[in-house]
Amino acid sequence: MKFLKWLGQGTKVPAFKFLKWLEHGMKRPAFMLLKIFLSKGRAGAVASDPLRLTRVLFIRPQKIGDLVVALPVFDALKAAGAHVAIDVLVSPRSLGILKRDPRFDRVFIYRKRTARDVREILAIRRRHYDCVVDMIDGDSLTGLLLSQLCAAGRPRIGSNKQAHAAYYDAVTVERDASGAQGHVVVAAEDGAGVDRALEDRAAEDGAGVDRASEDRAATDRMAGHSIERGLNLLDLLGIDGTAAVRYASPYIEQAAWGKIDRSFPESRTGSTAMRIGCNLSAGNPTRVWAVARARELIARILSFLPESRIILLTAPGDRERGREAKADFDDRVITASPGLTITEVAALISRLDVLISPDTSLVHIARSFEVPVVGMYPRRAWNLARWRPYGQTGGIVISGNDENIFDITAEQVFAVFQELIATRTAGSL
């Protein structure tokens, strides 16, 4: 612990970033040692006919947001061949969002605990898959090893692999190799978001909203958004990814809907008050916005929309942040119970008119229900390109630096919120 404290205080690199660098640094020599035992890919091994697939394993042992943006892939595969059994290998933290989801035949868990993982892998191997799809975007030693161990001898597909590409039978590539790095036009000084240039061009040539919508769809594809990058995998299975439905929401049981209706009557369909969610939590500390600024934003919104209801969302460990944000406001500001499950939170988000949030999984859950989002992002272009609110014009506030959102002001967020509300009212979001 003293060593970690020293890393965080005595160097310019925060401890968590150093450990991340160390983890990736160790994986490179590990790959060099292990590659002599890895099976190389085989040309033509993947059958590009969805009707010939009976059972497929998808590997996605990452965060909740990574799994949410992958849901369109599973729906498109089911639409192309309803008989296909879809299994997934996920991390414990994303398990809750898959609870009893009928999309999946089996859900396996990668826990990073050797004995339990060996038993899980043996159970997976007994499933005899037609192919394995590693959905971890880019080179990942974890994804590579799991893809080889889980279905030895079966075709392996990878997402945007580079150094590891030779060990997959087929890999996707960027549709536009430069898109993910340099396509984003940011306006950090006013937090205007990445779509302003498209809106301006549409207005100049008189095409209006229709042209902006067409440009938005094209930009999403060129940008390499995580949804698009996932859907590229379908091409290798003989499915037209461009025709897939982009909005696929998590499965929510009837009991979750009932709990939300009882706990938050303001969220029920038919309520005339605008329902605004404000997420105060983020898994990464660089994405946590100051409570004082959240309170200033809430005051501005209540003054602008006096009849609105603001629902504060916090992770279980952030209960105090919720209480602090709520303090002194009247009953128009409601604190959601930190004890809600992720699917119950998803049900609540689906009933919102707008969600305000840092870049977290809740952004992608909201967009899966086509709920408008005001999202707060660091200036880093590639991250914004992959994780922006999908298919949405505007609604993005960008910090003045690449590392965090600490410098985003309540005034900036409120200005973007007003723009989003105006767009929503006009019916052109």
Pick the CATH number of 42-173 from 3.40.190.10, 3.30.420.40, 3.40.50.2000, 3.20.20.70: 3.40.50.2000
- Predicted confidence at residue 175, as pLDDT, reads 54
Per-residue pLDDT reduced to its tens digit, 68-108: 999 999 999 999 987 899 999 999 999 999 989 999 999 99
Instruction: Label residue 32 by pLDDT band (50, 70, 90).
Output: confident
Q: Which amino acid is at 304?
A: F
- Predicted confidence at residue 427, as pLDDT, reads 61
> Domain segments of the chain: what residues?
42-173, 254-425
Does 221 have pLDDT greater than 50? Answer: no
Q: Averaging pLDDT over each range in 2-16, 83-97, 197-211, which range is the top one? A: 83-97
**Looking at residues 351-368, what average pLDDT do you find?**
97
Does 266 have pLDDT greater than 50? Answer: yes
Identical fold for domains 42-173 and 254-425, yes or no, is yes
- Predicted confidence at residue 395, as pLDDT, reads 94
Per-residue pLDDT reduced to its tens digit, 296-305: 999 999 999 9
- Predicted confidence at residue 271, as pLDDT, reads 64
- Predicted confidence at residue 269, as pLDDT, reads 57
**Looking at residues 195-210, what average pLDDT do you find?**
37
According to CATH, the superfamily of the domain at 254-425 is Glycogen Phosphorylase B; (3.40.50.2000)
Chain mean pLDDT for the chain: 82
Contact between 144 and 38 under an 8 Å Cβ cutoff? The reply is yes
Per-residue pLDDT reduced to its tens digit, 309-342: 999 999 989 999 999 999 999 999 999 987 899 9
- Predicted confidence at residue 36, as pLDDT, reads 76
**Looking at residues 1-7, what average pLDDT do you find?**
35
